[in-house]
């Protein structure tokens, strides 16, 4: 248990008995939930963590083979739940963590009571009958820039992801988050994220699922979010006024209200 707490820099807070597990997105860390977690402290126990290679996780625990696909990160989720003896977990995942949580919930469905996906994408690469938002060449070019000019990539990619020009401090924070991580690990996580394909996994999710779709999201478009919604039988799709890909930071109040409304419907 102590090894896992150290490995993933686990933080536990809140006064409630029902557990909310917050899983951050690519290049981020648990601190990026800070604008919304305070609204859930009174009624929920909140578990936050950093993926290995992100935030204040234990970098020595990084294993290239284990984290060569999203299943390795899903195993981390399950190990966290096991170590803390968590049950009936409300999973809140941002971006790639949506699919990581999906894989964890499919493997051990008894642990999770409901899922909340913020900006999910089951596949980022366009296919013959599927719009993922990027061509293979687009993503290979992005990885090449990461290899050749990591700082330049951070400067370019952060505003694309955040897309809230009126809040430059958030773009700066995301950029600094990219730069604070190990560039080799981050580059590997990027490759694993952007070339994953979880389309066939979506129908296997049995828990109620809320899908929050941002407006003007350059990473996960409306088509992507609606695809996820159509493939998950027991899902609710909400189009947000929030722009960009990080509404928990740029539009926390709207994010809070949509999550709270969903949880009320689940009688939590």
- For the chain of 268 residues, list the mean pLDDT of each consecutive stretch of 10: 93 96 95 96 97 94 96 98 97 98 98 98 96 96 93 90 90 86 91 97 98 96 98 97 96 98 87
> Which residue of the set 94, 229, 245, 251 is catalytic?
245
Distance of CA 116 to the CA centre of its chain: 10
94 catalytic? Reply is no
Domain count, the chain: 1
CA distance 182 to 184: 6
Q: Which residues contact 98 (CB under 8 A, 6 or more apart)?
A: 115, 117, 118, 119, 120, 121, 228
> Which residue of the set 95, 121, 154, 196 is catalytic?
95
Residue 241 burial (CB < 10 Å; 0-12/13-18/19+)?
exposed
95 catalytic? Reply is yes
Residue 125 DSSP label: B
Residue 145 burial (CB < 10 Å; 0-12/13-18/19+)?
middle
Structural domain boundaries enclosing 75: 2-265
Residue 236 burial (CB < 10 Å; 0-12/13-18/19+)?
middle
* HSE value, Cβ hemisphere, 13 Å, CA-based, for 220: 31
- Residue 268 has a pLDDT of 60
When computed from its CA atoms, the radius of gyration of the chain, rounded to whole angstroms, is 17
**CATH number of the domain bearing residue 230:** 3.40.50.1820
217 catalytic? Reply is yes
Strands in 11-13's sheet, in edge-to-edge order, are 11-13, 44-48, 18-23, 89-94, 112-118, 209-215, 235-243
Closest to 47 measured CA to CA, from 2, 8, 7, 105: 8
Crossing angle between the packed helical segments 183-194 and 136-148, to the nearest 10 degrees:
180
The 3-state DSSP class for residue 110 equals helix
CA distance 200 to 99: 11
Neighbours of 250 (CB within 10 A): 21
Predicted structure pTM score: 0.96
> Which residue of the set 177, 217, 235, 251 is catalytic?
217
- Residue 83 has a pLDDT of 96
The 3-state DSSP class for residue 243 equals strand
CA distance 242 to 212: 10
């Amino acid at each position: 248990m102590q090894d896992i707490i150290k490995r993933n820099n686990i933080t536990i807070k809140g006064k409630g008995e029902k557990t909310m597990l917050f899983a951050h997105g690519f290049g981020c860390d648990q601190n990026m939930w800070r604008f919304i977690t305070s609204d859930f402290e009174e009624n929920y126990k909140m578990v936050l963590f950093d993926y290995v290679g992100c935030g204040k996780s234990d970098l020595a625990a990084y294993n290239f083979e284990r984290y060569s696909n999203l299943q390795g990160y899903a195993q981390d989720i399950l190990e966290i739940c096991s170590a803390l003896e968590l049950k009936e977990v409300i999973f809140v995942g941002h971006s790639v963590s949506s699919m990581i949580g999906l894989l964890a919930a499919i493997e051990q469905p008894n642990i999770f009571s409901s899922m909340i996906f913020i900006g999910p994408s089951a596949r980022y690469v366009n296919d013959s009958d599927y719009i993922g938002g990027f061509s293979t060449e687009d993503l290979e070019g992005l990885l090449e820039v990461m290899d050749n000019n990591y700082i330049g990539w951070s400067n370019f990619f952060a505003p694309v992801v955040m897309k809230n020009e009126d809040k430059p401090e958030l773009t700066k924070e995301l950029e600094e988050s990219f730069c604070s991580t190990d560039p080799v690990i981050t580059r590997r996580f990027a490759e694993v994220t952007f070339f994953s394909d979880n389309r066939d996994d979506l129908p296997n999710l049995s828990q109620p699922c809320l899908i929050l779709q941002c407006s003007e999201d350059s990473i996960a478009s409306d088509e992507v979010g609606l695809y996820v919604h159509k493939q998950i039988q027991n899902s609710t799709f909400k189009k947000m006024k929030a722009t960009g890909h990080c509404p928990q930071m740029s539009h926390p109040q709207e994010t809070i209200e949509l999550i709270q409304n969903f949880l009320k419907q689940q009688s939590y």
